[in-house]
Amino acid sequence: MGKKSRRRDKKMPKVLKDEAERKSEMDTIKAKITSLGLSEEMDGIDTFYARASEFVERGESWSGKIKIHGCKRVLDVVFTPYKHKESLAGLLYDDNISNNSD
């Protein structure tokens, strides 16, 4: 009995989220950020809102870390356009970030 070759397996096409699903995900993430007391006027959060609206419109994946000055936090963001993966945003502590928006 030999090892089964996996090369013959056909890959399923990746299913993308539509605009309504992307908007729903971004609304959920924005609500969580707002519930933590972070407003859209804060330096860094406005960058997140701009990236989120761009993701909803275009559907292009993006990931990165956005510094939030004033509270020594970093917003770790992953936007994925595929249905089987969820877009994520996590708030991380970073002592190296200054309290002012230099």
Beta strands in 1-102 (DSSP E): 62-68, 73-79, 88-93
Rounded percentage of the chain residues whose pLDDT exceeds 90: 70
The verdict on residue 7 lying in a domain is no
pLDDT digits 0-9 by tens, 74-102: 999 999 999 999 999 999 999 988 776 55
The verdict on residue 25 lying in a domain is yes
Domain that holds residue 67: 19-93
Identify the CA nearest to 44 among candidates 64, 62, 69.
69
The verdict on residue 89 lying in a domain is yes
The verdict on residue 27 lying in a domain is yes
Q: How many domains does the chain have?
A: 1
The verdict on residue 71 lying in a domain is yes
pTM value? 0.82
- Write down the pLDDT at residue 25: 97
Contact by Cβ (8 Å): 97, 74: yes
Q: How far apart are CA 70 and CA 42, in angstroms?
A: 8
Q: How confident is the model at residue 69 (pLDDT cuts 50, 70, 90)?
A: confident
